Amino acid sequence: MRKFLWSLFEMLETVAIAVVAVLLVRSFVTQPFLVSGSSMEPTFSDGNYLLVDELSYDFRAPERGEVVVFKYPGDPSSYFIKRIIGLPGETVNIRNGNVSVTNAQGTEMLNESYTLKNDTTTNMERTLGKGEYFVMGDNRNFSFDSRSWGPVPTKDIVGVVRFRLWPLQSAKAFSAPHY
């Protein structure tokens, strides 16, 4: 009987340690997210299951090109996924379907495969303040993003997308593109 109780105790101890480890990782390191909608196509599609790194931005600032999950400024209970286009202190300029960013180093035209179509009516210029990021969906002509509701504050960014786990045939790791 003593052997059985000791085995049962060891099994419960192992399960408890595993549950605590999973809860700690999920709370402080990575968060699962399910993509809803088509604003990030072709990179992410409706129903994709992603892992979001919540820890990296505790040690460094977000970078241009990274895909982030954040609390929607209009309703903090909703989460959105978009690509970072403009960084704090920069000016984002959208004209005739082309996106450019101006900072202390000069003006750079973003060379992206998911640019706006030339016939778009979105022409704008936005200078970002301290702790503000300009984000856009990859499906630019059908994305509800910073062009509509303004920049995302640093405090609302949950983390950066690192992995797509589902669907299995599309599973892969992600890093920021180099502009």
Phi, psi of 135 (to 5 degrees): -120, 150
Task: Considering the candidates 82, 100, 130, 143, report the single residue annotated as catalytic.
Answer: 82
Determine whether 39 is an active site residue: yes
Task: Considering the candidates 7, 39, 56, 155, report the single residue annotated as catalytic.
Answer: 39
Contact 152, 87 (CB under 8 A): no
Distance, in Å, from the CA atom of 100 to the CA atom of 55, rounded to the nearest integer, reads 29
For residue 88, say if its preceding peptide bond is cis, omega within 30 degrees of 0. no
Report the candidate in 95, 43, 50, 68 with the shortest Cα–Cα distance to residue 159.
68
* Catalytic positions: 39, 82
